[in-house]
C-alpha cells in the first residue's frame, strides 16, 4: 500500500493511502490553526456574498474565550506544582 504525504493549504500534514483515506495522527487543532482557517476563509470568500460579520465576530470571540481558558488552565497547573513543592518543603522543615 502506497502512502503519499502532503501539506494542505492550512499547513497540516495529510497522509493519503491507496484507497484515498485521509488520516491525520495529530488531529488536534490549536488557536493558530483556527486563525489560519479563519484567514483562509476570509481570503477565498465570494466578494458578492461576504462572510456574515456576526458569524466572524462569534468565531473570534470563541477563540478569545478558548485562549483565556487555556491560559487559566496553564496558570492553575503551575500553581498546583508550586503548592506541591511548598507542602513538601513544609514537611521537611517540620522534621
Q: What is the pLDDT of residues 36-84, one digit of tens each?
A: 887 888 888 887 887 778 887 888 888 888 889 989 999 999 999 998 8
Residue 2 CA to chain centroid, in angstroms? 30
Q: Binning pLDDT at 50, 70 and 90, where does residue 25 land?
A: low
pTM of the model: 0.49
Least Cα distance to 6 among 18, 22, 26 occurs for 22
**CB under 8 Å to 70, separation ≥6 — which residues?**
31
Residue 63: predicted pLDDT: 81
Residue 59 CA to chain centroid, in angstroms? 14
Residue 85 CA to chain centroid, in angstroms? 30
Least Cα distance to 52 among 62, 42, 65 occurs for 42
Q: Range with the lowest mean pLDDT among 7-11, 25-29, 38-42?
A: 7-11
Amino acid at each position: 500500500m502506497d502512502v503519499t504525504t502532503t501539506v494542505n493549504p492550512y499547513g497540516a500534514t495529510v497522509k493519503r493511502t491507496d484507497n484515498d483515506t485521509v488520516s491525520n495522527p495529530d488531529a488536534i487543532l490549536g488557536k493558530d490553526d483556527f486563525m489560519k482557517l479563519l484567514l483562509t476563509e476570509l481570503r477565498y470568500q465570494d466578494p458578492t456574498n461576504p462572510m456574515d460579520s456576526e458569524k466572524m465576530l462569534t468565531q473570534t470571540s470563541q477563540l478569545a474565550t478558548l485562549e483565556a481558558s487555556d491560559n487559566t488552565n496553564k496558570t492553575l497547573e503551575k500553581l498546583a506544582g508550586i503548592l506541591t513543592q511548598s507542602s513538601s518543603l513544609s514537611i521537611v522543615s517540620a522534621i
